[in-house]
């Protein structure tokens, strides 16, 4: 084995845990109960048809043995009726089963998305490194867990009903086996039933022993597949940077290494499957002749007819299929168990993050959101900001920003400016202290790389509000004012705007979003870093002219930013973490109009900036 998945712990209560996670679908959804009952009813009907087929099997071969033409023809007519009924039942059984799988997956996916996309848990999970590849767990593992769970539930129900029905038939028609051992007469009633039970027990036991490692190996393979797929997606998203720096050789080497891990995991799984295949192939071959060989003495003695022999073989096959369900489905059970384990570990990671934030054992940053209508301000006192591993990045920060103020936060790279920005937003809980913030609906955060959702440009301007909240006139006007007039005809065009637009254009689009939504509090983290100084001045001037009463808290290095803020807070690096100190601004532009030329306006119209 290449690399043992030593961190994989197979929990004995995985099934119960999965039902706690996903079983609410059948408890809370009324339609789910009816779909489930309908699926069980169709499965039961299919079993009844198989029971009738078993009786037909006896009568058909007896008609052949007796050379009874009329009985033969009647059995053929009966066969057509049974076959038609079985076909109709099978079609609707499959449809209802797939409908249950789809509805259950929809419900589970919605629940996982709600847990993941809630109060920045997705971000905190990533920063804490609690669970890798959550996208695959929500998309692929949830699908496999649900689909296979429905398959297994119907398969087990079918096996139990078939076993109950055909054990009785097999017991009745197989009769007793009389043996003489050491002069003692021994009678075994329903001996074919005992033969089937013994045969299935041996096969199941050997299958479990041989195939047990497959659960952990499936878990390991799935994790490595996810890592490889993530590497491919990351390379695609970063294709420009890779091409510009000429990093294809190194990138290819990294991707080949990731795929090498996949190949090693698959090889380990193949070895385990090969060992299991030797067993299941031999077992399946013997199953085809075993009942006939065991029942042959009764046939040759005249105790049963040819039809009886065929009926015994058919009934034994059904009993054997029911008892062999575990043998036949062990590889799929291993795959299902691996997916369930990954889902459960994902859910546990979210629980850990929730408990870390909501019921912390250690101090965390307390973010208090002010009630609407009250005095709005940003106030933080004795705030200490740390990483998820406990290391301190900001040792102490105390300050207050009142409504309408414009404050610039500066400091060396690595002093925690952006981390403090995340604490303002409420997505960074690690640390201690207290932050008072205005209501969420009154604020807008502008990171260095704006987030542009999938969809239309209008949706990007309105985000996180619905696209219809931005009129065409307002959208075009905002685009024109930030120098993106060339995009106004694409307002309702679907595109990957984060790939189509340069970073500078994306930052100007974020300013267009700001002009449309007009928040009372604006938080910028290097929001103009991709713009030249002239474009930066033009964007900041738009903010001051259009939103003169809005408070502005900025993080930035560019000297020109001082002109647009009334005061500066400076983070000073220290041995135990950075500390925040007040520092007077180099130039104060508040209280008078800033005369900075807008580079987007020329005589004769508006032109886009590069």
Residue 68 has pLDDT above 60, yes or no: yes
579's enclosing H/E stretch is strand 578-583
At 513 the pLDDT is: 93
| 360: confidence class by pLDDT, cuts 50, 70, 90 | low
At 210 the pLDDT is: 78
At 252 the pLDDT is: 84
Under DSSP, is residue 377 helix (H, G, I), strand (E, B) or coil? strand
At 577 the pLDDT is: 81
Of 571, 430, 330, the C-alpha closest to 127 is 430
Residue 601 phi/psi, 5-degree rounding, is -105, 125
Name which of 131-135, 364-368, 558-562 the model is least confident about: 131-135
At 240 the pLDDT is: 60
User: Whose structure tokens read 């033409």?
Assistant: 69
Higher local confidence (pLDDT), 35 or 215: 35
| 100: confidence class by pLDDT, cuts 50, 70, 90 | very high
At 95 the pLDDT is: 93
Alpha helices in 212-238 (DSSP H): 214-237
| pLDDT tens digits for range 433-488 | 889 999 888 999 998 889 888 889 999 999 988 899 999 899 999 999 999 989 98
At 176 the pLDDT is: 64
At 583 the pLDDT is: 54
Please check whether residue 109 is in contact with residue 138, taking contact to mean a CB–CB distance below 8 angstroms. yes
Please check whether residue 521 is in contact with residue 376, taking contact to mean a CB–CB distance below 8 angstroms. yes
User: Whose structure tokens read 């998820």?
Assistant: 388
Higher local confidence (pLDDT), 380 or 123: 380
At 453 the pLDDT is: 87
Q: What is the mean pLDDT of residues 366-372?
A: 78
Residues 6+ apart with CB under 8 A from 441: 372
Higher local confidence (pLDDT), 424 or 190: 424
Q: Name the E strands within 154-272.
A: 176-181, 184-189
At 11 the pLDDT is: 44
| pLDDT tens digits for range 16-34 | 878 888 888 888 888 888 9
Residue 243 has pLDDT above 80, yes or no: no
Higher local confidence (pLDDT), 495 or 245: 495
Higher local confidence (pLDDT), 574 or 462: 462
At 301 the pLDDT is: 66
pTM: 0.63
| 288: confidence class by pLDDT, cuts 50, 70, 90 | low
At 199 the pLDDT is: 74
Q: What is the dihedral of CA 497, 501, 503, 509, to 10 degrees?
A: -70
Residues 6+ apart with CB under 8 A from 597: 534, 538
At 175 the pLDDT is: 63
Rg (CA), the chain: 35
């Amino acid at each position: 084995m290449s690399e043992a998945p030593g961190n994989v712990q197979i929990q004995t209560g995985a099934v119960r845990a999965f039902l706690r996670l996903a079983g609410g679908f059948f408890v809370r959804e009324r339609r789910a109960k009816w779909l489930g009952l309908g699926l069980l009813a169709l499965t039961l009907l299919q079993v009844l048809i198989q029971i009738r087929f078993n009786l037909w099997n006896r009568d058909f071969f007896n008609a052949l043995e007796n050379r009874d033409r009329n009985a033969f023809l009647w059995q053929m007519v009966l066969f057509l009726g049974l076959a038609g009924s079985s076909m109709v039942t099978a079609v609707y059984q499959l449809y209802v089963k797939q409908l249950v799988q789809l509805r259950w997956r929809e419900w589970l996916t919605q629940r996982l998305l709600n847990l993941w996309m809630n109060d920045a848990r997705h971000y905190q999970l990533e920063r804490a490194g609690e669970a890798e590849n959550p996208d695959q767990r929500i998309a692929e593992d949830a699908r496999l867990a649900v689909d296979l769970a429905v398959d297994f539930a119907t398969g087990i129900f079918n096996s139990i009903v078939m076993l109950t029905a055909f054990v009785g038939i097999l017991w009745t028609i197989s009769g007793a086996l009389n043996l003489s051992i050491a002069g003692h007469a021994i009678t075994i009633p329903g001996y074919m039933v005992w033969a089937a039970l013994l045969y299935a027990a041996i096969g199941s036991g050997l299958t479990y022993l041989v195939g047990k490692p497959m659960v952990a190996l499936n878990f390991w393979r799935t994790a490595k597949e996810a890592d490889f797929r993530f590497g491919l997606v990351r390379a695609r998203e970063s294709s420009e940077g890779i091409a510009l720096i000429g990093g294809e050789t190194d990138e290819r080497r990294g991707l080949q290494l990731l795929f090498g891990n996949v190949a090693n995991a698959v090889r380990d799984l193949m070895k385990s499957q090969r060992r299991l295949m030797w067993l299941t192939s031999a077992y399946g071959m013997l199953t085809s002749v075993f009942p006939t060989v065991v029942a042959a003495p009764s046939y040759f003695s005249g105790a049963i007819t040819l039809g009886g022999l065929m009926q015994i073989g058919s009934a034994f096959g059904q009993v054997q299929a029911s008892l062999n369900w575990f043998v036949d489905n062990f590889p799929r059970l291993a795959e299902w168990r691996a997916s369930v384990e990954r889902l459960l570990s994902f859910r546990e990671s979210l629980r850990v993050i929730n408990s870390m934030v909501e019921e912390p054992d250690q101090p965390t940053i307390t973010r208090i959101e002010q009630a609407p209508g009250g005095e709005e301000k940003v106030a933080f006192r004795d705030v200490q900001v740390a990483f998820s591993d406990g290391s301190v990045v900001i040792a102490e920060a105390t300050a207050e920003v009142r409504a309408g103020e414009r404050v610039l936060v500066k400091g060396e790279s690595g002093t925690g400016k952006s981390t403090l920005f995340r604490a303002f937003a409420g997505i960074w809980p690690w640390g201690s202290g207290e932050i008072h913030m205005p209501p969420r609906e009154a604020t807008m955060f502008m990171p260095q790389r704006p987030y542009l959702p999938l969809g239309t440009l209008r949706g990007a301007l309105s985000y996180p509000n619905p696209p219809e909240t931005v009129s065409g006139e307002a959208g075009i006007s905002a685009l024109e004012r930030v120098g993106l007039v060339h995009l106004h005809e694409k307002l309702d065009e679907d595109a990957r705007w984060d790939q189509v637009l340069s970073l500078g254009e994306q930052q100007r689009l974020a300013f267009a979003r700001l002009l449309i939504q007009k928040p009372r509090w604006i938080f910028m983290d290097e929001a103009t870093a991709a713009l030249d100084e002239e474009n930066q001045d033009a964007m900041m001037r738009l903010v001051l002219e259009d939103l003169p009463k809005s408070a502005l808290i900025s993080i930035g290095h560019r000297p020109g930013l001082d002109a647009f803020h009334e005061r500066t807070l400076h983070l000073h690096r220290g041995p135990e973490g950075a500390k925040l100190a007040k520092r007077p601004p180099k130039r104060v532009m508040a209280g008078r109009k800033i005369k900075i030329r807008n580079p987007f306006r020329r005589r004769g119209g508006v032109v886009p900036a590069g």
